[in-house]
Structure 1
Amino acid sequence: MTTQTGHTEAIAASRVIGTTVYNTQGDSIGSIEDVMLDKTSNGIMFAVIGFGGFLGIGEKYHAIPWASLDYDEARGGYVIPFSKEQLKAAPAHSINELAGADGESARDESYEYYKVAPYWH
């Protein structure tokens, strides 16, 4: 089944990982490092996006609600509706912290911070 824009509803995670992420101003702010899946609801908990750092040193990982990402064909990447200031002030984690407690604490913190309606309710 396709969406209104002609995209399919399904995509392989391997095609998503490594994709560049842009803010609404068009600045490249990082890339998708991973996606966290909710095994009990069969949904996507969040995208793990790496910001900053150099050669993996000092990089911060952010849990971004999946529904916040919008693929832009012209850019060849995802756009998120958050400012640089919002992203700089956002909760950051290590990869291990994102997966800890079944990912729920990072998920809940992320959805609350970005004011995105929880998919699990």
Structure 2
Amino acid sequence: MASDVISSERVEGTNVYNVAGDKLGSIDDLMIDKQSGQVRYAVMEFGGFLGIDTDRYPLPWNMLKYDTAKGGYVVPLDKRQIEGAPRYANDAVPDYDDTYRTNIDKYYGL
């Protein structure tokens, strides 16, 4: 029986695809709720070239579904939707306060 838990080390670097199978980016980080211990957001790297000028896009964790055939996560988004999503530069990580989380969740219709 396969385990139903995974190390964050193994999640980081995992590719993210849209439903059509296009690669959107890869997981750079996980944002974990301090109180519940639940993963709230997977931060995806998207854009740039070879990690240069690559922005970080927080995706609500419950939007990601792992696809064993792809060996990565699938989200119901296309590149256009990602391009308009909340994001930040690697060196400018925002506080994930109530306002910021609300903006992310609102953008994705949650």
TM-score computed with the length of structure 1 as normaliser:
0.81
Equivalent position of 1:114 in the other structure? 108
User: How big is the shift at 1:97?
Assistant: 4.2
Specify the alignment match of 2:9 in structure 1: 14
Q: Does 1:55 align with 2:50?
A: yes
Following TM superposition, the consecutive aligned residue runs of length 4 or more in structure 1 with deviations greater than 6 angstroms are: none
User: More strand per residue: 1 or 2?
Assistant: 2
**Does 33-42 or 61-70 show the bigger shift?**
33-42
Letter in 1 for 2:26: S
**Which has a greater percent of helix?**
1
Whole-Å separation in 2 of the counterparts to 1:81 and 1:11: 22
What corresponds to 1:39 in structure 2?
Answer: 34
Which residue of 2 is the match for residue 67 of structure 1? 62
Tell me, in whole angstroms, the C-alpha distance in 2 between the residues paired with 1:9 and 1:113: 29
* SS of the residue 1:42 aligns to: coil
Following TM superposition, by how much is the alpha carbon of 1:7 offset from its aligned partner in structure 2, in angstroms?
Answer: 5.4
Pair 1:7–1:83, CA change in 2 (3 A): farther
After TM superposition, the score normalised by the length of structure 2 is 0.88
Indicate how the Cα distance of structure 1 residues 40 and 96 shifts in structure 2: closer, same or farther if over 3 A, else same: farther
**For the aligned residues, what is the CA RMSD?**
1.7
User: Does the 8 A contact of 1:23 with 1:83 survive in 2?
Assistant: yes
Aligned-residue sequence identity (percent) comes to 41
What's the offset of the Cα at 1:10?
Answer: 1.5
Q: Secondary structure at the match of 2:45?
A: strand
- 5+ long unaligned stretches in structure 2: none
Aligned length: 109
Which structure 1 residue ranges, 5 or more long, are not aligned? 1-5, 117-121
